[in-house]
Structure 1
């Protein structure tokens, strides 16, 4: 753990009745980086985000965002973060600009109109700013949603599966937006089920499985967990998907026999 981490999580635990969702989660996120939290449905990704954004209390362990403890300093945490959920939280009756102005006024910021115009330009939505959001494409809605999250210049932004349900072009638009956020110094914690998304965006990748972080490192470090594949004179590096299946599939009874067989075949080909 580094003392200057934008996000620090230590031994985080959470149960719902008799189901242990988080069983001792540890990780930290460097300022201005993109951290991808991967995991299957039900792995606990959204639970981690809800705890870090003060929407849910942990049972044990500790977590801090921007140096503020989520349990004892929740208001300070809320002032330094923004959360974008799995579905765009925009008002379809209002125009894009009106949505931005509304949020700026709710945050009691000066000159909400100027803030809205600046964000519309930053997210390439100026021409569509006067149109009702109901006419926007999926990618435009998600860009507007992220733009609304940035009002107030939060240090940390949580993106919980931001490209769920989007078409390929819209996904690329969101990817570019996330890259721009990090380039401006915003720390991004991204949860996703799309392994190629993590490959494209993340500086650091952690895999959450059965309530614990089982792997945490850069893409290059994760690829080194498997031997390089060789076909005649061509060396093929393992993809993140192969790494994920090889790690999570081992000993997981929920993985189908076909998937496990495919993983075993892949490992044999590498030997």
Structure 2
């Protein structure tokens, strides 16, 4: 059974320091026998001061954190699912982009977060992720040492249609890197991730940011590995660090045989609305 590692981080506002910490953790995880390493959303920089963050933001081919992670993967001979980085695009908005990097340091897949969080709250708080980021336009499934993997990022987890598309395309493992807030994490993190695993009959690996960050925000932590039956196999709590789990493909096959919901899916027409 392939072993995976999750790096649960408290990412700060210094991209160079974050890159060095990721490279060190990747080497440690590989030394402990991990075939694949998972990192959270915004692994390279977490800074809500957009003017200050702008000095560190680069296009993909110029991003120092991506270079460092690719070099670390190649040096350690381990695959990495780099949860996401904030990257410049040709237009003014950025991409929230995740990567799958193989054990030679090659980029095997890219995924841009599709669902963006825009909301006006009753207390006057206003969030406009779409003001800074452009949403992705397609799901991605990629072959990895732990199985065919469907990619997603954070807020995506609230949209089951995405995971239906990923499992319909053959995904056996769902990666859900995140930087979840504490209130929503306490209310929804475990139940949503367990639901996604059960619906898809797939493993869920959710690497998360945690703790009090340099930019003033607080994230929930609790990086999870959930099996296809919905059992939590790893919960890292709130401390930064590295956690390990094994992904057993036999469990996926067994669950999908016992509950063959994927074979029973139907195209759903528009409902009849009465009254």
State TM-score, norm by structure 1. 0.34
Larger Rg: 1
Q: Which has the higher contact order (CA 8 A, sep 6+)?
A: 1
Normalized per residue, the structure richer in helix is 1
